[in-house]
Amino acid sequence: MIALAAALALASSPARSAPAVPATPADAAFVAGRWLSDAGGVRSEEVWTEPAGDGLLGMWRLVAAGEAQVVELLAIRAEGGTLVLRLRHFDPALAAREEKDRPLALPLVRRGDGTLRFEGPRVDGGAGAVALTYARRGDVLEVTLEKDGKAQPFTFRRAP
C-alpha cells in the first residue's frame, strides 16, 4: 500500500489522455462506505461518503506495526460533464507530500456498471500514465493501480 501512495504521487493535473467520459457523482455512488483490508498485519482502510452536491469525499489510511504510515484525502468531483478524482497524501503528522496548491488529479477515462477508471499523465519524466480503477463486486471493492505497464490490485471488503 505504501507503493500505492508513492505511485499515485507521480500523477499530475487533469490533462486528459482520453476524451471526456460523461458521468455524474451518482455514477460513483457504488464506492460509498467503509472498506477494509487487513493483509499481513497491515491495515488499509478507505472510507467514502455518499454523493452530495457535486461529488464524494474519501479518506484512505495505511496502518502498519500499530502506527499510521500514510493518510490520503480524496474527492471525486463533477467537472465539465465528467468526473475528476483528486487526492493528496499526508504523512502521520499531516504534512502534505504534494505541493500545497497542486493535488493530484486523475480524470475519468472509462466507466461501466460498478467500475470507474481514472487516468492521468506521469510527471516524473516517465512515459505513459498512472491509472486508478475502482470496481465493486458485492461486498468487495477492488482498487487497481497501474503504472509502468504493471498492475497492483488491492482488495477491500465492506466493513460491518
Q: Is the pLDDT of residue 105 over 50?
A: yes
Kindly state the average pLDDT of the residues 107-124: 87
Kindly state the average pLDDT of the residues 56-68: 95
Alpha carbon of 4 to those of 8, 22, 44, 67: distances in Å? 6, 27, 11, 18
Mean pLDDT of the chain, nearest integer: 86
- Residue predicted with more confidence, 78 or 6: 78
Q: What is the pTM of this model?
A: 0.84
Fold of domain 2-158: Lipocalin (2.40.128)
Q: Is the pLDDT of residue 30 over 70?
A: yes
* pLDDT tens digits, 144-154: 989 888 998 99
- Residue predicted with more confidence, 158 or 7: 158
Q: Is 99 exposed, middle or buried (0-12, 13-18, 19+ CB in 10 A)?
A: exposed
Confirm if 59 and 73 have CB atoms less than 8 A apart. yes
Instruction: Identify the pLDDT of residue 160.
Output: 87
Instruction: Identify the pLDDT of residue 89.
Output: 87
